[in-house]
Amino acid sequence: MAELMSLEDAIERYVSDGDCVALEGFTHLIPFAAGQEIIRQGRRDLTLVRLTPDVLFDQMIGAGCASKLVFSWGGNPGVGSLHRFRDAIENGWPVPLEIDEHSHAGLTNRYVAGASGLPFAVLRGYAGTSLAQHSGTISTVTCPFTGEQLAAVRAVNPDVAVIHAQQADRDNNVGLWGITGVQKEAVLAARHAVVTVEEVVDELTLGVGGIVLPSWVVDAVCVVPKGAAPSYALGYYDRDNAFYEEWDGISREREGFAAYLDENVYRAPVRAVRET
């Protein structure tokens, strides 16, 4: 059963150096507060997994938390490049970053296999692309019924999945809605799950596309209002598009990035929430 605890305690207990950590949220409900707590606690040598390493992973990679990245699209949506991500891949700064690169469909199905207790998943994908040549987790499999050759991707089973949701109820069941991405699959594929929520309510009030993660598949629930900002939480607050545009300048040079991190992460005992 999930336990209600502080974010500091949850990260301390469930995220260790060297772990494989998935932080999911597909443009919506991105677990920024939790990711920044991982930075603040100085975790190193992590394998970070995420379909869309955007501004949050740019911060974690630039802070030196990761030695490996599993991903399928690394950019600042609607803005451009991720400078810290590129600096790590192109120059090995601040530490070399190994990558395992997929398409969204491929990495998504790695989570599906992981959640399903299967060693791999099957999809129509990758045929004719260069992606398979550069990943050890993409192969092919022949259908035993039709003889057709299909792509196979290895299951991903993170040590811990970290997500943000709108609500938990008094029994620590978690409710999220709107664009829910691969959060359910990430949680069910992982050995442990840490969930930050906007608020605790008597009864979940799910909106469009709502899903419930029962308390017993979650380890820690942490109440962190605005825990997804500068991304958004449908029904609670909007995406801070201006910040995503500002990030391009903040992150462009190592010095500016370090100053940002110092002021907004390391020297912020409780995560500073930017008002929008």
Partner 1 sequence: MRSVEMGRSVGELAEEADRAVAYTADEMMSVAASRVLTDGAVCFVGIGLPSTAANLAKRTHAPGLVLIYESGTIGAKPVHLPLSIGDGELAETADAVVSVPEIFNYWLQGGRIDIGFLSAAQIDRFANLNSTVIGSYDEPKVRLPGAGGAPEIAASCRETVIVMRQSRRSFVPEVDFVTSVGHGSGAGDRDRLGLTGRGPSLVITDLGLLAPHPGTLELELTHVHPGVEVEDVRVATGWDLKVAEDLSRTVPPSADELAVLRQLRTAG
Residues that bind partner 1 (CB under 8 A): 26-28, 51-52, 71-75, 77-78, 81-82, 85-86, 89-90, 101-106, 108-109, 111-112, 123-131, 134, 148-150, 178-182, 184-185, 208-209, 211, 232, 234, 238-239, 241, 244
Residue 226 contacts by C-beta under 8 Å, 6 or more apart in sequence? Answer: 33, 198, 233, 236, 237, 273
CB closer to partner 1, 14 vs 232: 232
C-alpha–C-alpha distance, residues 122 and 106, integer Å: 9
CB closer to partner 1, 19 vs 59: 59
CB closer to partner 1, 5 vs 105: 105
CB closer to partner 1, 108 vs 172: 108
C-alpha–C-alpha distance, residues 75 and 25, integer Å: 14
CB closer to partner 1, 19 vs 231: 231
Q: What 8-state DSSP symbol labels residue 224?
A: -
Q: What angle do CA 42, 45, 51 make, to 5 degrees?
A: 100
Radius of gyration, alpha carbons of the chain: 18
Residue 106 Cβ, how far from partner 1 at the closest point, in Å?
8
Q: Which two tokens stand for residue 5?
A: 């605890």
Nearest alpha-carbon partner for 169 in 131, 200, 190: 200
Kindly tell me the burial class for residue 146, based on how many C-beta atoms sit within 10 Å of its own C-beta (0-12, 13-18, 19 or more).
Answer: exposed
Residue 232 Cβ, how far from partner 1 at the closest point, in Å?
6
In Å, the largest CA–CA distance within the chain is 60
CB closer to partner 1, 4 vs 105: 105
Residue 88 Cβ, how far from partner 1 at the closest point, in Å?
9
Residue 42 Cβ, how far from partner 1 at the closest point, in Å?
26
Q: Which two tokens stand for residue 185?
A: 């699959």
Residue 49 Cβ, how far from partner 1 at the closest point, in Å?
14
CB closer to partner 1, 15 vs 35: 35
Residue 239 contacts by C-beta under 8 Å, 6 or more apart in sequence? Answer: 27, 230, 231, 232
Residue 177 Cβ, how far from partner 1 at the closest point, in Å?
8
Residue 12 Cβ, how far from partner 1 at the closest point, in Å?
30
